[in-house]
Amino acid sequence: MPEIRYIDAINQAHHDEMARDERVVVLGEDVGRKGGVFGATVGLIDKFGEDRVIDSPLAESSIAGVAIGMAANGLIPIAEFQFADFIHPAFNQIVSEAARMRYRSNNAFGCPVVFRAPFGGSHGTALYHSQSIESFYAHVPGIKVIVPSTPADAKGMLKAAIRDPDPVLFLEHKRMYRLVKGEVPDGDYVVPIGPAAVRREGRDLSVIAYGWMLYESLRAAEMVASEGINAEVVDVRTLAPLDKDTILKSVAKTNRALIVYEDNRFVGYGAEIAAIIAEEAFGDLDAPVMRLGAPQVPGIPFSKPLEEWFFITKEKIADAIRKLAAY
């Protein structure tokens, strides 16, 4: 299997699915000639033309609304939001229309749209290009929310999202685009939406993460391994629907749980995982469920020292692991 970058895996999935099904179209800001601000749609307009690769106005509500209209008329749109920070004007279209389409029609029709958005913080991105928006949408029934962490998952889960009959929010952590490389199977394949994955086996505690936090958690697990702490690392991958069985199985094995997420800790997505563990695995726990998330401020500061204070790093995760293991 060839080893490719995360961003290239996403690009390949676009090419494959547009070639496989002529109903698949792409729309968004700069997705055409520019190939997307991060390069996710490079080469699509040359291969499939302007009728299927559409540069949209700078109007996120319209991007979502047009995509929903396309889906209602037999197309399969992939709507790219240039940054997750700017998806908020489309909230009503996504939540009140796309997510409720099947329910309000008594299962008569769905809304096969993929909403793609780069999310999460990187160095120098500050408040308006670094938000984690996953908990807003994972809260809403009717829309799937996925955060692939490997190139193989990025390609396979994007294919699965495009083939899904209902709306999917496909979140891509921008740090992973060019920093993460991995083997990707040749040929056509899909990675099912739903199941989590254990990325590192362990016995002493479970670290549950997704997106870039998976990689920081894996590095932290290696740091504490030399101290005799053997941490298991679970990659959630799909936030909605959540694979709680894999999480509960891991906690039953290790008896401790640390949930790591980049969003604000307060009412962040990890709180739901913590609640599930507390309710359904209380008898397995030898220590309180621990969460590690960002501080309760409106965004990542631009100041370099304050940026480092905000970021969840492998060192901070390692410290939390040591504390939990010593309880």
- Token look-up 């994007």 returns 158
Please, which residues have CB within 8 angstroms of residue 60's CB and are 6 or more apart in sequence? 81, 86, 87, 88, 89, 90
Using N-to-C axis directions, what is the helix angle for 244-254 and 269-280, rounded to 10°? 60
- From 15, 88, 123, 129, active-site residue: 129
Inter-CA distances, 206 with 40, 248, 289, Å = 33, 10, 10
> Can you tell me the distance from the alpha carbon of 252 to that of 249, in angstroms, rounded to the nearest whole number?
5
Beta strands 257-264 and 205-209 are parallel
Catalytic, 173? Answer no
Q: Note whether 48 and 18 are within 8 A (CB).
A: yes
Q: Note whether 321 and 209 are within 8 A (CB).
A: no
Catalytic residue annotation: 129
